[in-house]
Amino acid sequence: MALAIDSEECDGCGACEPLCPNQAISHEENMFRIDFKACSECEGFHDTAQCVLVCPIDCIHSAVPPTATPTVKRAKLYQQVVRSFNRPDTISFN
């Protein structure tokens, strides 16, 4: 998952930008934004996302991926693998 800054709520204080270990937060056109692909919610660096902790107006929230295609792609890939091995489309665990 990743985080996003609500641009309507953000007052542009900039407290979040220097704390990001992935440099996923940038300042563009008088607003801050988080690069969805670069954000790891500080996983591997801190127990909690540092930008969320420091934001004085609480405008950084979990983001929904731009598209849900990764899940769809995984499902299609699974179906291709199943077909290539001539196995049933469903798996049952006993």
Residue 82 lies in a domain: no
Task: Read off the tokens for 53.
Answer: 């902790």
* Res. 82 pLDDT band, cuts 50 70 90: confident
The confidence score (pLDDT) of residue 78 equals 74
Residue 91 lies in a domain: no
Domains contained in the chain, number: 1
Q: Rounded to two decimals, what is the model's pTM?
A: 0.63
* CATH number of the domain to which 46 belongs: 3.30.70.20
Q: What is the pLDDT of the chain when averaged over all its residues?
A: 83
CB 22 within 8 A of CB 38: yes
The confidence score (pLDDT) of residue 79 equals 77
Residue 52 lies in a domain: yes
In 1-94, DSSP assigns E strands to 2-5, 25-28, 31-34, 60-63
The confidence score (pLDDT) of residue 48 equals 92
Q: Count CB neighbours of 54 within 10 A.
A: 14
Residue 94 lies in a domain: no
Query: Residue 43: CB partners within 8 Å, gap ≥ 6?
Result: none
Residue 25 lies in a domain: yes
- Note the pLDDT tens digit of each residue in 23-78: 999 998 888 999 988 999 999 999 999 999 999 999 999 887 555 555 667 777 77
Task: Read off the tokens for 62.
Answer: 């979990």
Query: Which range marks the domain in which residue 16 is found?
Result: 2-65
The confidence score (pLDDT) of residue 40 equals 93
Residue 36 lies in a domain: yes
Query: Residue 55: CB partners within 8 Å, gap ≥ 6?
Result: 15, 16
The confidence score (pLDDT) of residue 49 equals 94
Residue 31 lies in a domain: yes
